[in-house]
Structure formats: structure tokens, C-alpha cells
Amino acid sequence: MSALFVDIILPVPIPQHFTYALPDDMQSRCEIGMRVVVPFGRKKFYSGIVAAIHDRLPDYDTKEVQVILDDRPVVQPLQLDFWAWMAEYYQCSPGEVYKAALPSGLKLESETVVVYNADYHEQQPLSDKEQQVADFLAQEKQCTVSDLSQATGIPNVVPVLHYLMSLGMIFVSEQLRESYKPKIVQMVALSPAVRNDDALRKAFATLERAPKQLEMVMQLMQLAGYKAALEGAAIARADLLAKGGSAAQLAELMKKGIVMQIEKVVGRIDTQLLDTLEPHPLTPVQQTAIEQLRNLFQTQHTVLLHGVTSSGKTELYIHLIHEQIAQGKQVLYLLPEIALTTQITTRLRRHFGNRLAIYHSKYSDAERVEIWNDLLAQGNFNVVLGARSAIFLPFTNLGLIIVDEEHEPSYKQYDPAPRYHARDAAMVLARLHGARVLLGTATPAIDTYHNVQTGKFGLVQLFDRYQGILMPQILVADVRDARRKKQMRSHFTPLLIEHITRALADGEQVILFQNRRGFAPYLECGQCANIPKCDHCDVSLTYHKHHHILTCHYCGATRPVPVTCPACGAPSIETRGFGTEKIEEEIKLIFPDARVARMDLDTARTRKAHEQLIHDFEQHAIDILIGTQMISKGLDFDAVSLVGILDADAMLNYPDFRAFERAFQLMAQVSGRAGRKNRQGTVILQTTNPDHPVIQQVITNNFAHHYAIQIAERETFKYPPFYRLINITLKHKDQNKTHRAADNLALALRHLFGDRVLGPQDPVIARIQNLYIRQIVLKIEKKASPARAKQLIQQAIHALVAQPEYRSLIVQIDVDPM
Ligand code: ADP
Ligand code: ZN
């Protein structure tokens, strides 16, 4: 057999594959897409993915693959192509994509099992930590990395393990693959001996003086069904005990040989077949829309479904998914994380039952591994509803990708790399599969609409709400005017108060939107105007009244609230501006009888808390819900007659070229929560600037006008979609070095790109977690080769970081920043 080599993707930020020699005994077993363990650097071991197998001897000494972890590939060739595109386009390493793509249960980092090498006898001087780990492992023989870390109290035990591995004292177990453990449930069934009428009757007779045990057998028969029980059907032990019997009685029955206990391996995901609902018949308008969609998909890869809230977009998706399944195809349905609520999952579950998988970050890793493996094996699932990372799943036969709420900026991943946009990546993924992409939204992104205008995407419009519900009436409340007349009650205009009062009197629900959490954005000294700032970041601290602390929303640092001004000593610390928490407090004072709740990152951090709030609101246990943009997504409430937008100005004044686009989207989306089912709703929009064009566009629901103005500005000022932006961010803990490095890089780039280079400048927040930040922006013409530009940028960055002075400089590239 000739020598074989493998190119491996390793979870490191170096933009290349790494070549290793494949030992003879592994050659027949190794396939592309399998995971292997390899040594890396002097002391490290990693698990990586085989990207290629070949016989080209590299011009450097290769090390050997240590272990092959899989019997069959966990990553498919098509996925590897997708990863390669992503690394290239978003300028990161293949390893960074690998880290983002695989659920951690498959990367086996903390679950990795390490084994003590019983044949190890050499005496090496070890550090205290190393000795501690070695002693522990010598005794325990094997252990997972996370357990080891816990047992020894060493938080970052991985480097220690790497070193011990390099000595040969320990090795990685082949058991790595077992890190995902299926869940086991105890089941109870009738013993085979009593599975006929006769024997059962006799058994009952023996239980005459043990009525509780008899009762338990009867319960078992009832739960399983009489006939099924006689055929050996089992029910969960927990379900049986929940009916009132005790474990002791059950043990007694087992001893008597009447029932038996069985262990059953079950998936964490409920795969019981549920009754599945046929799609609802479509209205004539919806029917026309779906026919247009089908026609457009004959010629277009991507189609935009521009439909107002409640027009039935989701209903159309459900029809299209049914069609794909009927053709044996898979569907990926993407939603922004915050829109993935129980409402939508329950709705889809009713249609697709156990063929629907739900994939997002708030699900456990075990569940994610299970979905991954199921898709690999082409098992149960053919519809995946997921947040952005679902694009990495191992689809085999994708027919359609739905990107709902396509305008949502949270489709973009900021940190860590890959800094991808899931909508844009989905289009590439679809092309690889020969699948179609459906973008859905009530407020299209400017970039997307431009693609429609230029004919790149198809367009279908749906402007009628289901059952003729009217679009809400939007009223402007002039804050400046109310202030002048001294009519404001804290942050509320008389118009808003009046409408809230009326809605509450009519037993209707109210949503108040303020896109800022906490109590007050900042504190300020009334004497010297000093504002408490974060010690690590260049931002003012946000005051949270409930916990009575100051918090940095960038790094999470907290500080006690000063009693006197830290700068001048005056006892005149005052709150400025207002967040959701303050709104909540004030609304409770004005409407003491109303049931008020708040939904923001502070109150809905967990999936459970989030769902509880939605549930309570649905059940009308809440009259007024105050929230950040979280409330603008995916909620379908019936009794909301009023939406208040408390501070439209804050959204408009944000320093970003997309601020108006974003403000329009947010206001239109939040407004869409009003009057969904019973009657026309009302939106009160508080602003000091009623004549602002965006405010006018929102009031008249005039997307066309909004688009026309925005697209003209983008062209004039050389922004996307006419130009491609690439942000280069430099970070260093030394401010001078950050500045010098940024100046050097900008200079080098200007030689190459001329006035396409902007900056360096301070970003909105110029210091985060003690790192000083400078930013350079490149504006590249759309028709220029992005690959060539990126190559030149990489070269310039390499030349910079090669200088010893800048060794700990962090340089990040963000292609198509949002
Ligand atoms: P969108 O996704 O555009 O906001 P939905 O599909 O959620 O709209 O529709 C809004 C509401 O109207 C939902 O409760 C949905 O069940 C209902 N609905 C829409 N179209 C139909 C239809 N053809 N038959 C029955 N109910 C429908
Ligand atoms: Zn901070």
C-alpha cells in the first residue's frame, strides 16, 4: 500500500488545512468527513475533520493521525464545500467554520474521555497541576475532561492534558464517540407468564389481599390498553407511579412475577407520530400568491414574499413544505432566534408531527447531536425549524429554504468568526443542493428589495390581512408639543395615556415598546455632569433599579450605585433617559389596577421565562406588556388593541447608515402586533419630530417611498447594495499601539485601494473589556472581484502582524457588516 495523507480541518484560526500521515492500519477505514485525533504544535491534540485523502507527500515532516473516531463520516462532502465557501467569503479559517458548524457534542471538547496509559513508567518532572491530574487519572483510569476539571478544581485543564498526552502518559479514548449518551427510560409491562386471560385471572386471585398491588396492575392494563398489555405493551414506570402506587408495591409485583421492568432507549426528541393536520384551504388571494411563487421558482433561485403581518405568509410556507415533503425533499425553515417561540413550533408541529426538528441555541447539545445524527442517517426528520446555525446541519436532499423575517439583522453572526449572514449563506447552500430560497417579511431589507428591482430575485406580494382585518391606525403623539404645554406625565403623552385608559376599560391588551432595557440609560451628577462609566469599556453604565446596580451592557461588569458623585462629591446623582424597567415602574403608578409585565433580556433570559411571559399574555393574565424588540417578533396575540412606541427618536438618531431602515422595520413590525384578530388596532408613536420622513413612511405604511429614499442615499454615499463593505477591526490593550497599527494598516491599504479606504476611526464604543478599538472600513465596488480585494487585505494584515511590536494585536475582518 502506498503512503496516504489526509488534509485535516482543525479548530484553530489559521486559514489552511493541515496534512498528516495516515498509518497503514487506518487506510481502509478512513473517509472524508470523519473525525480524527491528531497532534498539533508541540503539545496539543485536537479532533479534526478529514477534508481530503491523497498520496502527495508534503514538503514538511508529517505527524500521524492518532485515532479515527467514526465508522462513517459525520460531515458530508457538500457540507465541506459549503464550509470552504464560507471561510473564503467571510475571511476566516476552515477551523473557525468547523467550530461554528458542529454541535459541541460532536467536537468532543469537554466530553472527551481521556484514559490513563497503564504502561507509562517514565519519570518526568511534573508541575503541581500536572501531578494532580496524573494522580487522579492513575487512580480513576479514565474520565471526561469536564469531570476531570471538576474533580481537580482546575478550570482550564486542557493544556495540562495536552502536555500529559505529549508525554504518552494519557491518551484519548476511542470512546470519544460515546460522548453523546442516549436517554434511558424504565418501562413496566406484564410478565410473559401472565400474558393470557387465564394466567392473568389467576394472578389477580393471588392479589386478593393486596388491593393496592391489584390496583397497580389494573392501572397498567388501563394505561397500556387491555389487549396491548396482554401483547406485552410497556408503559413508563414514572407514569405508572404517578397514578398513586408506591415503588415498594411495584417491587412486590415484580417479585411475584406478575410484572417486569424493561429499559428502553429513547431519543430526547419526541418521535411519536402525532396526528398531522392537513394544510388549511387558502383564500383566493393566498391561492394566487402561491401559484405565483410556484411559477417564479421555475426560473428564479430566490423569491421574496413581501406580505404584511397576518396576511398568511406562514400559511403559505406550510403548504410549500407539504409539497416538498410529498416530493421526498427536505425543508429548512429559518427564523431569527427571538422569533422561535412556542407559538410557531406548536403550529408547525400540528402539521408535521415528528418529522419536524427544532434546532436552536437554547436546546441542549444532546438534542442537537440527535438531530444531526438523524439527518445524517436520513432518518426521521425532513423539516428543520431553526435559528441561523441550522444552515450547518447535514442535509442530504434539500428542496427549499424559507428565511422568514429575512430583514432581521440578527441573522448576522457578529462574534466569533465566521461572521456570516445566514440569509446570504442560505442562498449559497441552496445552490449547492439545487434548492430554492423563499424570503419572507413584512418589511424587506433594502438590499433584498434592490435584488428584486434588478431582477435577481422574484417578488410576490400579499397585502391583505387574513379575514380582512384592517391595518392599524397610526397616530403621532408630539412629545415636544406636550412638553411645552406641560402635559407630559413622566414619559407619556396625554394621547397615549388616554388610549391606554380606554383599552384597559374595554378589557383589551396593550403593548408598550421601548428599545432599551434597564431603568435609565445612565446616571448623571446634577452638579458636575459627571456620568459613571464602565472601567473596561468606553460606555456609560446602565442603571438597573430592581437590583439597584449599574451594569455595562457590553461586558456585563456591575458596580454599586454611588450615593454621592464620585467626581465632585455632591449628593446629586440623577437618572437620565429611560429604559423598559423605568417604564414599567411608572406605568404601575399611573395604572395601579392594571397587570403589568416586562419582556426584555433581563426578564426573558431563558427559554422558559420567555415562554411563560408569552403564555401569560396569551391567557390575558397581563394587561400591559412592556418590551424591547423582543416583542416585535413572532407573536400572534388576539386581544392587543393598542401599541405604544415610546421613543421613536432614539431609533432614528443612531449613528449608522442603516438606522433609518432599521427604525422603519422596527416601528412597522411592532405596529403589526396591534389588532390582529378582532378589529382595527391603534398605534401611538411618540416623537419630537413628527415630520421626520421615516415617521411619515411608517404612518402611511409606505414601504415604496421608504425604499426609494433609502436606495438613493445608498447610491449617493456609496453604501450597500452598490458597494461591498469590509470592516477591519483592530484591538489592543495598549491604546497607542492600537492607533499606530491602525494608521499603518490604513496607509498600506490606501496604497492598494486609494480612497476606498475610510478611517481609521473610533467605533461607537471605542474600548470594550480593556481593549482599545480602531476601525477601518473598505468600500469596494460591487463589480470588482471580492476575492482579489480580500487577498490584498490579508496580505496587508499579515505584513502588519508579522512585526514583533504587534504580536498581541487582534485583527478581525467582517465582510458585509450589519
Ligand atoms: P403571517 O405569517 O403573514 O403573519 P399567518 O400565516 O400567521 O400570517 O396568518 C395569520 C393568522 O391567520 C394565523 O392565525 C393563521 O392561522 C390565520 N390564517 C391565515 N391564512 C389562513 C387560511 N387560509 N386558513 C385559515 N387560517 C388562516
Ligand atoms: Zn464594560
How close are the terminal C-alpha atoms of the chain, in Å?
A: 52
**Atom of ligand 1 at shortest range from CA of 286:** 23
Ligand in nearest proximity to the CA of 558: 2
Which pairing describes strands 44-54 and 113-116: parallel, antiparallel, or unpaired? unpaired
Span from the CA of 575 to the centroid of ligand 2 (angstroms): 19
Q: Using most ligand atoms within 8 A of CB, pick from 314, 343, 465 the residue to mutate for ligand 1.
A: 314
Q: Using most ligand atoms within 8 A of CB, pick from 286, 309, 310, 348 the residue to mutate for ligand 1.
A: 310
Span from the CA of 358 to the centroid of ligand 1 (angstroms): 21
Q: Measure Cα distances from 402 to 383, 406, 635 in Å.
A: 11, 9, 18
Span from the CA of 419 to the centroid of ligand 2 (angstroms): 22
pLDDT of residue 432: 97
In the numeric block, which cell numbers belong to residue 338? 427571538
Give me the residues paired with residue 558 across strands. Answer: 551
Cis peptide before 418 (omega within 30 of 0): yes
pLDDT of residue 518: 65
**Which are the contacts of 712, defined by CB distance < 8 A and separation ≥ 6?**
none
* CA 445/CA 441 separation, integer angstroms: 9
Span from the CA of 15 to the centroid of ligand 1 (angstroms): 46
Is 30 annotated to bind a ligand? Reply is no
In the numeric block, which cell numbers belong to residue 318? 406550510
> Alpha-carbon torsion 751, 755, 761, 765, what sign?
negative
Ligand in nearest proximity to the CA of 767: 2
**Atom of ligand 1 at shortest range from CA of 307:** 3
pLDDT of residue 176: 39
Residue whose CA lies nearest to ligand 1 atom number 11: 310
pLDDT of residue 177: 40
pLDDT of residue 465: 82
Span from the CA of 167 to the centroid of ligand 2 (angstroms): 41
* CA 334/CA 172 separation, integer angstroms: 37
* CA 176/CA 144 separation, integer angstroms: 9
Is 143 annotated to bind a ligand? Reply is no
**Atom of ligand 1 at shortest range from CA of 311:** 3
**Atom of ligand 1 at shortest range from CA of 315:** 6
Span from the CA of 489 to the centroid of ligand 2 (angstroms): 33
* CA 152/CA 756 separation, integer angstroms: 54
Nearest to 728 by CA among 712, 744, 714, 717: 744
Q: Using most ligand atoms within 8 A of CB, pick from 466, 618, 673 the residue to mutate for ligand 1.
A: 466
Span from the CA of 801 to the centroid of ligand 1 (angstroms): 55
What element of type H or E holds 45?
Answer: strand 44-54
**Atom of ligand 1 at shortest range from CA of 309:** 4
**Alpha-carbon torsion, ordered 115, 116, 120, 126, to 10 deg:** 120
Given a contact cutoff of 8 angstroms between Cβ atoms, the answer to whether 500 and 489 are in contact is: no
Radius of gyration of the chain from its Cα atoms, rounded to whole angstroms: 31
Report pLDDT digits (tens) over 714-764.
Answer: 999 889 999 999 999 999 999 999 999 999 999 999 999 998 998 898 877
**Atom of ligand 1 at shortest range from CA of 318:** 6
Global pTM reads: 0.79
Residue whose CA lies nearest to ligand 1 atom number 20: 312
Report pLDDT digits (tens) over 464-513.
Answer: 888 777 788 999 999 889 989 999 888 899 999 999 999 999 999 999 99
Nearest to 267 by CA among 102, 347, 380: 380
Residue whose CA lies nearest to ligand 1 atom number 15: 312
**Atom of ligand 1 at shortest range from CA of 467:** 12
Span from the CA of 351 to the centroid of ligand 1 (angstroms): 14
Span from the CA of 551 to the centroid of ligand 2 (angstroms): 8
Ligand in nearest proximity to the CA of 461: 1
| Cell 434548492 belongs to residue | 435
State how far Cα 709 lies from the chain centre: 32
Given a contact cutoff of 8 angstroms between Cβ atoms, the answer to whether 400 and 329 are in contact is: yes
Mean pLDDT per 10-residue segment, the chain (818 residues): 85 87 91 88 75 89 83 93 96 92 69 74 78 87 80 72 72 48 74 88 88 89 84 85 86 90 65 66 96 97 94 95 95 89 85 90 74 90 95 96 95 93 98 97 96 97 83 91 89 95 93 78 77 78 81 79 85 79 90 91 76 86 88 72 89 81 91 74 92 93 94 91 94 94 95 91 82 92 87 93 91 93
Span from the CA of 560 to the centroid of ligand 2 (angstroms): 14
Fold of 723-815: Alpha-Beta Plaits (3.30.70)
| CATH 3.30.420.40 assigned to 4-101 | no
Span from the CA of 313 to the centroid of ligand 1 (angstroms): 7
Residue whose CA lies nearest to ligand 1 atom number 19: 312
Given a contact cutoff of 8 angstroms between Cβ atoms, the answer to whether 219 and 189 are in contact is: no
Span from the CA of 765 to the centroid of ligand 2 (angstroms): 10
Q: What are phi and psi of 347, to 5 degrees?
A: -60, -45
Which pairing describes strands 67-68 and 18-22: parallel, antiparallel, or unpaired? unpaired
Beta strand residue intervals within 596-657, DSSP E: 596-599, 624-627, 640-645
Q: Measure Cα distances from 579 to 405, 453, 674, 678 in Å.
A: 26, 39, 22, 31
- Count Cβ atoms within 10 A of the Cβ of residue 557 and give its class: 0-12 exposed, 13-18 middle, 19 or more buried: middle
**Atom of ligand 1 at shortest range from CA of 317:** 6
* CA 87/CA 51 separation, integer angstroms: 14
Ligand in nearest proximity to the CA of 346: 1
**Atom of ligand 1 at shortest range from CA of 283:** 23
**Alpha-carbon torsion, ordered 706, 712, 716, 722, to 10 deg:** 100
Span from the CA of 629 to the centroid of ligand 2 (angstroms): 22
Is 565 annotated to bind a ligand? Reply is yes
* CA 635/CA 672 separation, integer angstroms: 10
* CA 411/CA 445 separation, integer angstroms: 12
The class level of CATH for 473-516+599-712 reads alpha beta
**Atom of ligand 1 at shortest range from CA of 404:** 2
Residues at CB less than 6 angstroms from ligand 1 = 280, 282-283, 286, 307, 309-315, 466, 636
Nearest to 132 by CA among 161, 107, 112, 104: 161
Is 552 annotated to bind a ligand? Reply is yes
Residue whose CA lies nearest to ligand 1 atom number 6: 312
Please give the CATH architecture assigned to the domain spanning 284-465. 3-Layer(aba) Sandwich (3.40)
Ligand in nearest proximity to the CA of 676: 1
**17: DSSP letter:** -
Residue whose CA lies nearest to ligand 1 atom number 10: 310
Residue whose CA lies nearest to ligand 1 atom number 9: 312
**Atom of ligand 1 at shortest range from CA of 280:** 24
Span from the CA of 556 to the centroid of ligand 2 (angstroms): 6
Ligand in nearest proximity to the CA of 771: 2
Residue whose CA lies nearest to ligand 1 atom number 23: 282
pLDDT of residue 107: 66
Ligand in nearest proximity to the CA of 542: 2
* CA 766/CA 351 separation, integer angstroms: 49
In the numeric block, which cell numbers belong to residue 42? 508541540
Cis peptide before 721 (omega within 30 of 0): yes
pLDDT of residue 179: 43
Residue whose CA lies nearest to ligand 1 atom number 5: 312
Ligand in nearest proximity to the CA of 289: 1
Give the length of the chain.
818
Residue whose CA lies nearest to ligand 1 atom number 18: 312
Burial string for 203-233 (b: 16+ CB within 10 Å, else e) reads: beeebeeeeebbebbebbbebbeeeebbeeb
* CA 22/CA 123 separation, integer angstroms: 30
Beta strand residue intervals within 505-653, DSSP E: 509-513, 522-525, 542-544, 549-551, 558-560, 573-576, 596-599, 624-627, 640-645
Report pLDDT digits (tens) over 209-259.
Answer: 888 898 999 888 888 888 888 888 888 888 888 888 888 899 999 999 899
